Each structure stands twice: as C-alpha cells, then as structure tokens.
Amino acid sequence: IAGITQAPTSQILAAGRRMTLRCTQDMRHNAMYWYRQDLGLGLRLIHYSNTAGTTGKGEVPDGYSVSRANTDDFPLTLASAVPSQTSVYFCASTASPGTGELFFGEGSRLTVL
Amino acid sequence: QKEVEQNSGPLSVPEGAIASLNCTYSDRGSQSFFWYRQYSGKSPELIMFIYSNGDKEDGRFTAQLNKASQYVSLLIRDSQPSDSATYLCAVNGLDSGYALNFGKGTSLLVTP
C-alpha cells in the first residue's frame, strides 16, 4: 500500500540521548515535512524539504535537524533530547507544495524523560 | 508565523443536525485552504480543499471561503456519531516552502 511509513511508532528516551525518527514515502512526492503535535498547540512545522538535497526551517526547528539525501527518505534527528521534545511527530508529504493534499504518516510518539 | 485561528470546542451537536466549524487566517496572500479530520490517536486525513471564494460541496460536507473576510468554514450536514473528531483548518503559508499552517483544531462531538 502506497503511503508514508514512520518508525518507531513509539519510543521512550532518556534526556540527552540522540534519536532519529525515520520517514519513508513511496509516492515519489517532492515535498516532505515534519510536524509535531502537542495538546493545545496543534500541529507545528519543524522542518521541510521541497526537493531532494534541500531543507528548510519551520516554526519550531531548534533542537532538530533533517536531511534529504533522496526523494523517499526524510529522517528527523534530535541531537540531545530534552523533555520539552516529548510529543507526537508526524511526517507528511505532498506532490504540490501549498496546493496539493498533504499525506501523513501514522505518527511517532516520543517521550523524553 | 502566520495565524490560523479556530475555536477549540468542544462543539456538540445532535445526530442529524448541521455542524458548523469556523476558521480565520491572518495572511491575506494565502491561496489554498484545507479541512482535515483527525480521530483520537490517528493521523490527520483530508476532507475538503477550497481555492476560490464561495461554496464547495462534497457529499455531506460544504466548505465556504471568503477571502475578503479571511474566513473559511466547514459545514457537515446530517451529522453522524462517526463524525466525532477534531477538525483542523489548514492554510498554505507563503514562506517555509509553502507548507501548510494549521489551526489548533475544533473538537466535534455528535451525540446520538
């Protein structure tokens, strides 16, 4: 089934540890995004990539980094996790940035203790 | 950061009634508007999109856009208990790679 796969689905992590959330899509979409969703704050954009080889910062990029080596993969790395990064992380992609449907992965629930 | 505002709710309507969900946005340059539905513990899924002023209907759903008032709404006719979810309004941004800016969502509860 075509779509977006995120891993892990859930993770508990000690503060200070490094963590990479994986995201793979098989729809050949050029644009990919990472959002975090927190109760009362909605979905907030962390980083985006409009094409392989390019990335940009969203609303809440601090403490996160991304890479886009190819069209399909868009990993999100927390270099040194802090408790405020406890959240549900959604990876998304679209064929047409700004105008096309945004497809979401199932989410990764991260708890930083 | 451009603002997308929604009432958080919960909005409670009886089964069979019309549910009206509202959203305002701050960026006059926005051109694309979306409504996503999110069930608890699940990822958002697209319900409707609208680009032009006026109404757009799809089954029981109608999206309404008024760019002059910077207002977009979603009407759900003949509401069903299965419509109980959080509804997210999203507007395309003019920065951040045209990524969608989301409102915080309105929780809808349809009671039998």
**Looking at residue A33, what is its pLDDT?**
97
> Is residue A101 over pLDDT 60?
yes
Please report which confidence band the pLDDT of residue B97 belongs to, taking 50, 70 and 90 as the band edges: confident
Chain A, residues 53-72, CB within 8 A of chain B, namely 56-59
Closest CB to A48 among B32, B45, B97: B97
Q: What is the per-residue pLDDT across B55-92, written as a single tens digit (0 to 9) for each?
A: 999 999 999 999 999 999 999 999 999 999 999 999 99
B41 φ, ψ to 5°? Answer: 80, 5
For the record, the structure tokens of B109 come out as 């509860």
Q: What is the per-residue pLDDT across A37-89, written as a single tens digit (0 to 9) for each?
A: 998 888 999 999 999 999 999 999 999 999 999 999 999 999 999 999 999 99
Please report which confidence band the pLDDT of residue A1 belongs to, taking 50, 70 and 90 as the band edges: low
Tell me if A7 sits within 8 A of A20, measured CB to CB.
no
* Contact status of B93 with chain A (Cβ, < 8 Å): yes
Residue B25 Cα to chain centre, angstroms: 12
Among A2-16, B21-35, B93-107, the least confident range:
B93-107
Q: Which residues contact A10 (CB under 8 A, 6 or more apart)?
A: A108, A109, A110
**Closest residue of B to A90, CA-based?**
B43
A-chain CB neighbours of B97 within 8 Å are: 31, 48-50, 56, 97
Task: Chain B: give the shortest CA distance to residue A15, in Å.
Answer: 24
* Contact status of A106 with chain B (Cβ, < 8 Å): yes
Residue A19 Cα to chain centre, angstroms: 12
Beta bridge partners of A33: A48, A92
